[in-house]
Amino acid sequence: MKYVRYTTLALALSAGSLSVHAQESATTDIGTTDAAKLGKSFPAKPPYSPYAGRNFPTRPFFGDTHLHTSYSMDAGAFGCRLTPADALRFARGEEVTSSSGQPARLSRPLDFLVVADHSDNMGFFPDFFAGKAELLADPTGRKWYDMMQNGQGAQAALEIIGAFSQGKFPPALVYAPGTRPYHSAWLATIEANEKYNEPGRFTALIGYEWTALDKGNNLHRNVIFRDNGDKASMVDPFTCIPPQGSTNPLDLWKWMAAYEAKTGGSVLAIAHNGNLSNGTMFPVEEAFGKKLDSAYCAERAKWERLYEATQTKGDGEAHPFLSPTDEFANFERWDKGNLDGSQAKTKAMLEFEYARSALENGLKLEAKLGVNPYKFGLIGSSDAHNGLAAMEEENFFGKTTPQEPSPERINATFMNNPKTGVTIRDWEVSASGWAAVWANENTRESIWDAMQRKETYATTGTRMVVRFFGGYDFEATDAADRMPARIGYTKGVPMGGDLHAAPAGKSPTFLVAALKDPIGANLDRIQVIKGWLDAQGNVQEKIYDVAWGDAEKRKPGADGKLPSVGSTVDVGNATWSNTIGDPELITVWKDPAFDPALRAFYYVRVIEIPTPRWTAYDAKRFGVKPPAEAAMTVTERAYTSPIWYTPAK
């Protein structure tokens, strides 16, 4: 297929060569029958519709893989009243009343949601009516049922509770064959997911959070099912309290393997908040007293396909101590201590906490042990504990119920451990983020499969579109094509993929493109971040600015540094304008320093122009004075899953 270099409209107009022409009438009609006819007759021309037969994802689906409701012990204790069903309704775009009594609604619906409540203490509740048939067969049950049908539901409920607590509940109802004396919050969660899952429109993936805490260090993972409720309900979620549970990820992976073996289903796990793990999230030497071996690496790579790189409790892509020349690394940083603040952070811990250093150390481990345990893709999610996936800066409902919008929250304290002096203020909580998934369809299977192949990216709350393809044959003209995705999939692999042995004399080339959020801010720049293992076995990284906004007047200086895009933010009024930056950026980039003998990975970071942070909206709307040290602007961003290069053996 021939790809033509397309010119912009302005050029076309000035050249007077606007290539607008009438097609033959036979080809103007788009329809499946026509396309089929054309296909059968092997036409010289391709079908009119360039999309016919297209089998790659055309738009990313945005969602949250990590949302808590009142079914989480801590969320409920903090006052969350919203159930999984409420959370799903909200994510679908419905207005709900938050636990603090405020009406809440998203600017636009999400495409998918994972209610991921903590598995520990999720709870069992008396199940009075597991079997409706038994209820109707029993005289007392029948009486209650009739009361409910006659509008005396409240009275019936009282009688039922009273009967139960006094041991006078008709045994036939509780212990009828095939019924269960208790139903768990887990089953209730599954039921809500089944109700609100609507293939093609909104996906409710079944999941939970395994909340492993080792001496206050965060080792949490979210477990996400590909399957429907019939399979997911065959198991109970894995917990942390022994002997049933464990805080060692090895045991979680065993649980996952047991689930798959038993049900024929599929699960994956997503770790998060390495920044609160005090150096234990991405170990390189040992874990739980055992030296890392190739089995550990293989299991981790198999089950932990993605990493949650950004969320309310801080950003986890990179740290300025580890990447001192990265001017964008100091972003929504939470590096004071571990999860409960029981141990303060030391610099030596940082290397084992952040996504970028883990990706780098993964190369090292692969060279040493033969398997890269940290070959993960990236997503962002909220970890909100109020049932509200509301991560928009101007519509941020906070991380917990007490942190829902109020004049007080900007000056409140999120956590304070007097022993260690670790204090985190509420203003530090980040309105972040989303998981963007390049799936063919908005269904459980399609979204899960895209997660499994890591065709995902993280955003800090924006819904920008990011494409990233790697191959050996991309040319500059590919960036001018009107359908970059078609070229991308034809000539390369998408984000999350692998580049194998380079053809002699060739370097990896990348087609990379970003389109702003339709209701969000313009784009500052696209960066490719390369990490590699040098000939001495040391990890290296380099950040390339590959495309940027206002390019006609914004040129890198003598030092190669791109000048700042500037800022239009009026903090006092919480406004900004899209008069700087570009709505769309696209380019083909070739690694200028490629060594085919060295392992490497490449991922993309897209930075938006500065916009008001949620703190600025709060200060404006509530007329409150923020703490002097509070960040009031934010540069929203996206991180793609890497593309890995592995040399031939």
By CB under 8 A, residue 330 contacts another protein? no
| Triad 256, 260, 266: Cα angle to 5° | 85
Stretch that binds another protein, among 142-150, 329-337, 363-371, 620-628 (CB under 8 A): 142-150
CB nearer another protein, residue 116 or residue 350 = 116
Please answer whether residues 249 and 212 qualify as being in contact, where contact means their C-beta atoms are separated by less than 8 angstroms: yes
Dihedral sign for Cα 518, 520, 526, 528, please. negative
Q: How far is residue 115's CA from residue 99's CA, in Å, rounded to a whole number?
A: 17
Helix axes 294-303, 249-263, angle to 10 degrees: 60
By CB under 8 A, residue 133 contacts another protein? no
By CB under 8 A, residue 153 contacts another protein? yes
By CB under 8 A, residue 15 contacts another protein? no
The identity of residue 327, as a single letter, is E
Pick one of 9, 44, 504, 558: the residue that binds another protein (CB under 8 A): 9
By CB under 8 A, residue 518 contacts another protein? yes
- For residue 281, the 8-state DSSP code is S
By CB under 8 A, residue 242 contacts another protein? yes
Stretch that binds another protein, among 151-159, 212-220, 309-317, 529-537 (CB under 8 A): 151-159
By CB under 8 A, residue 500 contacts another protein? no
The H-or-E segment that residue 164 falls in is: helix 153-165
Please answer whether residues 486 and 50 qualify as being in contact, where contact means their C-beta atoms are separated by less than 8 angstroms: yes
Interface mask toward another protein for 249-288; x: CB under 8 A: ------x--xx-xx--------------------------
The residue assigned the tokens 């009967």 is 163
Smallest CA-to-CA distance from 280 within 244, 310, 249 is with 249
Please answer whether residues 593 and 531 qualify as being in contact, where contact means their C-beta atoms are separated by less than 8 angstroms: no
Smallest CA-to-CA distance from 494 within 611, 419, 594, 604 is with 604
By CB under 8 A, residue 195 contacts another protein? yes
Q: Which of residues 44-73 bind another protein (CB under 8 A)?
A: 48-51, 58-59, 70, 73
Q: How far is residue 310's CA from residue 468's CA, in Å, rounded to a whole number?
A: 19
Q: How far is residue 415's CA from residue 67's CA, in Å, rounded to a whole number?
A: 20
Helix axes 84-91, 185-196, angle to 10 degrees: 30
Please answer whether residues 526 and 604 qualify as being in contact, where contact means their C-beta atoms are separated by less than 8 angstroms: yes
Q: Which of residues 542-601 bind another protein (CB under 8 A)?
A: 579, 582-584, 586
The SS3 assignment for 499 reads strand
Pick one of 34, 35, 138, 145: the residue that binds another protein (CB under 8 A): 145
Q: Name, in order, each residue with C-beta under 8 angstroms of 146's C-beta and a sequence gap of 6 or more.
A: none
Stretch that binds another protein, among 218-226, 274-282, 512-520, 561-569 (CB under 8 A): 512-520
CB nearer another protein, residue 164 or residue 544 = 164
Q: How far is residue 599's CA from residue 414's CA, in Å, rounded to a whole number?
A: 41
Stretch that binds another protein, among 122-130, 275-283, 386-394, 424-432 (CB under 8 A): 122-130
Q: How far is the CB of 635 from another protein (least distance, A)?
A: 19
Q: How far is the CB of 117 from another protein (least distance, A)?
A: 12
Q: How many CB atoms lie within 10 A of CB 171?
A: 10
- For residue 149, the 8-state DSSP code is H
Q: How far is the CB of 386 from another protein (least distance, A)?
A: 14
Stretch that binds another protein, among 8-16, 319-327, 329-337, 564-572 (CB under 8 A): 8-16
Q: How far is residue 300's CA from residue 80's CA, in Å, rounded to a whole number?
A: 33
Stretch that binds another protein, among 236-244, 445-453, 529-537, 613-621 (CB under 8 A): 236-244
Q: How far is the CB of 547 from another protein (least distance, A)?
A: 12
CB nearer another protein, residue 35 or residue 344 = 35
Q: How far is the CB of 647 from another protein (least distance, A)?
A: 33
Helix axes 355-369, 294-303, angle to 10 degrees: 140
Pick one of 1, 18, 348, 558: the residue that binds another protein (CB under 8 A): 18
Q: Which of residues 19-48 bind another protein (CB under 8 A)?
A: 19-25, 27-28, 30, 48
Q: Which of residues 430-489 bind another protein (CB under 8 A)?
A: 465, 467, 479-484
Q: How far is the CB of 482 from another protein (least distance, A)?
A: 5
Q: How far is the CB of 423 from another protein (least distance, A)?
A: 22
By CB under 8 A, residue 12 contacts another protein? yes
Stretch that binds another protein, among 37-45, 243-251, 376-384, 469-477 (CB under 8 A): 243-251
Helix axes 139-149, 153-165, angle to 10 degrees: 150
CB nearer another protein, residue 91 or residue 586 = 586
By CB under 8 A, residue 519 contacts another protein? yes
Dihedral sign for Cα 328, 329, 333, 336, please. negative
* Rg for the chain, CA atoms, rounded: 27
By CB under 8 A, residue 172 contacts another protein? no
- Size of interface with another protein, in residues (CB under 8 A): 93
| DSSP of 38-62 | HHHT--SSPPS-TTTT--S-SS-EE
Q: Which of residues 398-427 bind another protein (CB under 8 A)?
A: none
Stretch that binds another protein, among 213-221, 345-353, 507-515, 598-606 (CB under 8 A): 507-515
By CB under 8 A, residue 245 contacts another protein? yes
Smallest CA-to-CA distance from 373 within 435, 293, 310 is with 293
